[in-house]
Amino acid sequence: MSSSVPDYLRDENLTQETRDLFSSLPREKGWLVSQMYQYQGIWHTPALLQGILNCQNHFQAKDSDIILVTNPKSGTTWLKALVFALLNRHKFPLSSSGDHPLLVTNPHLLVPFLEGVYYESPDFDFSELPSPRLMNTHILHFSLPESAKSSACKIVYCCRNPKDMFVSLWHFGKKLAPEETADYPIEKAVKAFCEGKFIGGPFWDHVLEYWYASRENPSKVLFVTYEELKTQTGAEIKRIAEFLGCGFTGEEEVRGEVEEIVKLCSFERLSNLEVNREGKLPNGMETKAFFRKGEIGGWRDTLSESLAEEIDRNIEEKFRGSGLKFSC
Ligand code: PAP
């Protein structure tokens, strides 16, 4: 793989136990990675699977924890920024936002990615994080560490319409690993996505598990969408704050705190910061890779009508009867 490929797409640092487990798992040659493995129903890169196993074995959730969950490319970076800003609005006031951490630090460095950290530093001490601990993951609900399910910790799940998510991942992969993805036609990738044999897939299992969990236990799991975040950002920030038990006071609203968070975390603001244009994460990934278009319906310039219809048909079938609809 080329040197720009982040650690979590490699297959180094795997324990012997994990290599043994791999031999019993279904495997496929995937887009972007030479091998993906299916574990607890989801297709993973070897490194992220190692991270998930470490996380399942070692992570102990606390009642006060907040875990942000997404499918890759569904709004992770944005959600991290929004929730970081709202939780820390007293510590880092928004009005004097000239020195706000989000202006000088990429959101991924402010909110640790559980399986990524557990892959890169298996001994990382999460107990050192300030309370409430704010973390993110792509782990399926079923596969979350037991304590994350049994404790009172809060989960905010953000879902994005599958065509935009797929297209975002497609471009991300091409940027990250141009040589490895060059000969892989998009038709084949759409087919794999619709069969569920795509990194992080099946898409529908991931989304539906959290969708049903949010309906069964609305005080534990909050379900938000990228599209609603985009069209009514302020209202969604308030909804997330209420859910997390740190709703805005009337005075804060009058002072315009919600609007300050909307502005600070907007695509335009974050994507133009030096740290997000020129920066790199410790694993070598360029921070600009997390900011592309930030639009609803941006899939139109990448997917042909027939590929879009193929995804639509598949999604319609998988989500039928769930009560969850994708509008674009
Ligand atoms: P990750 O799961 O790998 O961390 P994630 O942040 O979910 O990635 O996805 C990046 C997408 O979010 C990009 O979408 P696009 O490819 O369709 O453009 C990126 O542009 C978008 N994004 C990043 N920050 C923001 C933001 N502040 N507002 C809206 N969209 C954003």
Name the residue of 290, 293, 295 whose CB sits within 8 Å of the most ligand 1 atoms, as the mutation to test its pocket: 290
Task: State in Å: Cα 300 to ligand 1 middle.
Answer: 17
3-state secondary structure of 321: coil
Q: Kindly state if the Cβ of 75 falls inside 6 Å of ligand 1.
A: yes
For ligand 1, atom 16, the nearest C-alpha belongs to 168
- For range 173-198, the mean pLDDT: 91
What is the rounded CA–CA span in Å between residue 63 and residue 134? 12
Residue 149's CB: how many other CB atoms inside 10 A?
16
pLDDT above 90 as % of the chain: 83
The residues assigned a catalytic role are 138
3-state secondary structure of 57: helix
User: pLDDT tens digits for 3-32?
Assistant: 455 666 667 778 898 999 999 999 998 888
Which atom of ligand 1 is nearest the CA belonging to 108?
A: 4
What is the model's pTM?
0.96
Task: State in Å: Cα 236 to ligand 1 middle.
Answer: 17
Asked if pLDDT for residue 97 goes beyond 80, the answer is no
Q: In what order do the strands lie in the sheet with 221-225?
A: 134-137, 66-70, 154-159, 221-225
User: pLDDT tens digits for 246-272?
Assistant: 999 999 999 999 999 999 999 999 999
Name the residue of 32, 68, 77 whose CB sits within 8 Å of the most ligand 1 atoms, as the mutation to test its pocket: 77
Predicted confidence at residue 241, as pLDDT, reads 98
- Domains of the chain from N-terminus onward: 7-319 (3.40.50.300)
User: pLDDT tens digits for 50-91?
Assistant: 999 999 999 999 999 999 999 999 999 999 999 999 999 999
Task: State in Å: Cα 64 to ligand 1 middle.
Answer: 27
- For range 292-320, the mean pLDDT: 97
